[in-house]
Structure 1
Amino acid sequence: MKVIRWILGRVILLLNTVFTPKSIKRSDAEQKEIDDAVAQLHLYQFDACPFCVKVRRHAKRLNLPLATRDAKQAQWEEELVNGGGRRKVPCLRIEGENGNVEWMYESKDIINYLERRFA
């Protein structure tokens, strides 16, 4: 089963590379504002997870330089479990202006949030 998952993961990554979505264009000032806002977001993910790929593709479409953290690495896994409460990806860590941190799971919820805030 692990071999099949590994193969399917590589196929997903290959298709994602071949069919990369086009990013929307913004003025330099608008993009700088977006970049500053996105700096408060971190996506905990696995490279070949189809739901993580879906979120990353949507972030690419919106031209969001979303920082990703591989939840297979011990430090990010520990941060995800301690902060978010569970080891589930994708998970978006949203740091508010007042220092509050929200952990958002589910690819649809994350995509809806990114769409509402940055589209």
Structure 2
Amino acid sequence: MKVIRLILGKLILLLNAVFSPKPQQRSDDEQQRINKELESLSLYQFESCPFCVKVRRAAKKMNLPLETVDAKQPDHEQALISGGGKRKVPCLRVENEAGDVTWMYESNDIIQYLEQRFA
């Protein structure tokens, strides 16, 4: 089973690289404003997880350079579990201006949030 997952994961990454979406174009000022807002977001993910790839592709299409965090690293995994409550990816960590943190699971919910906030 691990071999099948490994092969499928590499295939997903290859197809993602070959058929990568073109990023949305914005003015420099607008992109800098968005980049500043993105500093409060982190995407906890596994590199070859198909749902994580889906979120990364949507972010790339919207030209959102999200910080990605490898949830397989023990310290990041622990932060995900203690903050979000479970070891599940993709998970978007959203910190508001007051310092309150929200952990958002489910790829469709994450994409919808990014579209509403940045598109």
TM-score range (shorter-chain normalised) is: over 0.9
Question: Could you tell me which residue of structure 2 aligns to residue 16 of structure 1?
Answer: 16
Q: What is the CA–CA distance in structure 2 between the aligned matches of 1:65 and 1:35, rounded to whole Å?
A: 7
2 CA distance for matches of 1:94 and 1:83? 11
CA distance in 1, matches of 2:111, 2:104: 10
> After the TM superposition, which residues 73-112 of structure 1 pair with which residues of structure 2 at under 5 Å, given as runs?
73-112=73-112
Identity %: 66
CA shift for structure 1 position 53: 0.1
Which runs of structure 2 are paired with 1:2-81 in the superposition (5 Å)? 2-81=2-81
2: CA distance between counterparts of 1:30 and 1:85?
34
Cα RMSD (Å): 0.3
Per-residue CA deviations over 1:19-43 (Å, capped at 9, x if unaligned) read 0100000000000000000110000
Question: 2: distance between equivalents of 1:69 and 1:59?
Answer: 15
**Alignment of 1:113 onto 2:113:** yes
Q: List gaps (5 residues or longer) in structure 1.
A: none
Q: Which amino acid aligns with 1:13?
A: L
TM-score using structure 2 length: 0.99
Instruction: Give the CA deviation at 1:87.
Output: 0.2
TM-superposed CA distance for 1:18, in Å, is 0.4
Give, in whole Å, the separation in 2 of the partners of 1:57 and 1:39.
19
Runs of 4+, deviation exceeding 6 Å: none
Aligned equivalents of 2:68 and 2:77: distance in 1?
Answer: 12
Q: Equivalents in 2 of 1:65, 1:8: separation in Å?
A: 25
Structure 2: which 5+ residue stretches go unaligned?
A: none
Instruction: Supply the distance in 2 between the matched residues of 1:67 and 1:4 (Cα, whole angstroms).
Output: 29
* Aligned counterparts of 1:64 and 1:39: Cα–Cα separation in 2: 11
Distance 2:111 2:80 in 1: 19
